Amino acid sequence: MAEKLVDVTRLEALLQRFADERDWEQYHSPKNLAMALAGETGELVALFQWLTEDESRHVLPGSKLGGNVQDELADVLIYLVRLAAKLGVDLDAAVSRKLEKNVRKYPPGDSTPSR
């Protein structure tokens, strides 16, 4: 068996326990989780909104902005993993399939994305 690209097994279990301990399962429908994921992605985008291209490349992990970016990335991952678990999506298999599609869609040496 090939090594997994994405293994969120422990995170998935931790998030399930966290939700169970707070009786949040009732709120974690796929619709609600997708909306929360979109909201957290929006919060991540907002951190970069007024930065120049160069400034966006130099967000330092030790800075306040860098810490905020890390927090929002974590929130995005948390909701993504929770949503995938609710829908029974194997993120490793999904990523592997998508990467294979991208290899065919975007051949090496072609820097222009196809639509």
pLDDT tens sequence across 60-74: 888 999 999 999 999
- Model confidence pLDDT, tens digit, residues 21-43: 999 999 999 999 999 999 999 99
Report the 10 Å Cβ neighbour count for 37: 19
Give 59's DSSP letter. Answer: -
pTM for the whole structure: 0.89
- For the stretch 78-93, pLDDT in tens is 999 999 999 999 999 9
pLDDT at residue 111 above 80?
Answer: no
Q: Give 15-21's long-range contacts (Cβ < 8 A, gap of 24+).
A: 15/78, 15/81, 15/82, 15/85, 16/85, 19/82
Indicate the residue type of 95: V
Each domain of the chain, given as residue ranges in start order, spans: 9-105
For the domain 9-105, what is the CATH code? 1.10.287.1080
* Separation of alpha carbons 104 and 101, rounded Å: 5
